Amino acid sequence: MTDIAIVGAGFIGGVHARLIDSLDGARVSAVVDTDVEKAALLAGPRGARVAGSLDELAAAGALPAVVSVCTVSAGHADLAVRALELGCDVLVEKPIDITLDAAARVAEAAERTGRTVGVVSQRRFLDSSAALRQAIDAGRLGHLTGGTVESPFFRPQSYYDSGDWRGTRDRDGGGALMNQGIHALDLLLWFLGEAATVTAAASCVAHERIEVEDVVGAAIGFASGAVGTVFASTAAFPESGVRLSVFGTEGSATVADGRLTLRFADGEEIVDDSAPEGWTSIDWAHRAQYADLLDARAAGRAPAIGLPDGRRALAAVLGIYESARTARTVSLT
Ligand SMILES: NC(=O)c1ccc[n+]([C@@H]2O[C@H](COP(=O)([O-])OP(=O)(O)OC[C@H]3O[C@@H](n4cnc5c(N)ncnc54)[C@H](O)[C@@H]3O)[C@@H](O)[C@H]2O)c1
């Protein structure tokens, strides 16, 4: 049985608890939150331990094998480093943290302790994403020439007002791209490779009392020569899902509404996202990322999505912010 402690008993901590509950050979052994009453709500029905910090768990001799970091974005690195130092493996929610220095501290601690770190980007585990990745790896799209991705989401003002960290520069680290669009941006980077330059515009047009963007767009020059675009918003009503296209010299692909359409000279192929009854495909993909981490630990291999991936997505987000701020093209290499 793999014991997992959830740190952060908020919205996504609750999702993690359900994912872990559904996995054979794993259980929520503890819930840690600075708000111990919130931790108790999640821990109680599972018979899990409640603590206000990881050190409190350590003092009680109740350290788990894996710590899942589900707290506000700016605190991810500190908690991941502490968990690693206490001898635990770590799954950290996106973004890895909000600065490259923080990401580097996690990498240094992982290296020093020899422990494993996975970074959540569950959309890679959707059937549509996996099938597109397979088609690209098999060379079926030919030479990749470019791609686009959009996250036209909607978050009412009440979403930002619901947590004192939401929409702040120093704790959320950004807005529509850092918090929401990073999922889709990570997919584009996964398919098209290293981003070399970004040229962006960003603004806050439809919300009050937030310090960050609610709409952002960028052109990306990839190291391969391919060109792409990313658009992210929390002010696009009515919200629709992520749309992504990848173009190549022998085939092209679009993912929209939970369906991948691959187009070739001789016809189309379609792959639909799937999930068992009672699950959304996104939660099912999130669960698959957990299963991958547990399998990676058992097999002594690296998890499918690790620190370099988390750092790469964060570097692209920060480069896009710098470009929007300075009205210049920013080099990421
Ligand atoms: N993968 C996804 O699809 C997804 C979805 C939503 C949120 N997230 C990520 O999850 C993280 C949390 O988001 P949320 O919406 O659950 O936030 P939330 O505000 O609902 O929950 C955060 C929790 O962390 C606790 N906390 C803060 N600092 C702590 C500390 N030092 N130690 C212990 N507990 C602490 C808070 O008390 C709160 O209960 C964010 O980084 C966000 O980007 C990921």
Structural domains of the chain in order of their starting residue, each with its CATH number: 2-119 (3.40.50.720), 124-275+306-331 (3.30.360.10)
Q: pLDDT tens digits, residue range 269-289?
A: 999 999 999 999 999 999 999
Distance from the alpha carbon of residue 288 to the mean position of ligand 1, in angstroms: 20
User: What is the model's pLDDT at position 262?
Assistant: 98
Distance from the alpha carbon of residue 52 to the mean position of ligand 1, in angstroms: 15
User: What is the model's pLDDT at position 267?
Assistant: 97
User: What is the model's pLDDT at position 82?
Assistant: 98
User: What is the model's pLDDT at position 232?
Assistant: 98
User: What is the model's pLDDT at position 87?
Assistant: 98
User: What is the model's pLDDT at position 263?
Assistant: 98
Most ligand 1 atoms within 8 A of CB, residue of 41, 67, 70, 178 to mutate:
70
User: What is the model's pLDDT at position 323?
Assistant: 98
CA distance 295 to 7: 21
Ligand 1 atom closest to 282 (CA): 3
Residues in CB range of 249: below 8 A, 6 or more apart: 141, 142, 143, 145
Distance from the alpha carbon of residue 202 to the mean position of ligand 1, in angstroms: 25
Spell out, as residue ranges, where the chain has pLDDT lower than 50.
Answer: none
Whether residue 179 has its Cβ less than 6 Å from ligand 1: yes
Ligand 1 atom closest to 38 (CA): 39
Distance from the alpha carbon of residue 146 to the mean position of ligand 1, in angstroms: 34
Quickly list DSSP for 257-299: TTEEEEEETTEEEEEE----TT--HHHHHHHHHHHHHHHHHHH
CA distance 174 to 320: 11
Indicate which residue's Cα is closest to atom 21 of ligand 1: 10
Ligand 1 atom closest to 11 (CA): 16
Distances (CA, A) of 219 to 181, 200, 208, 229, 270: 14, 6, 27, 4, 28
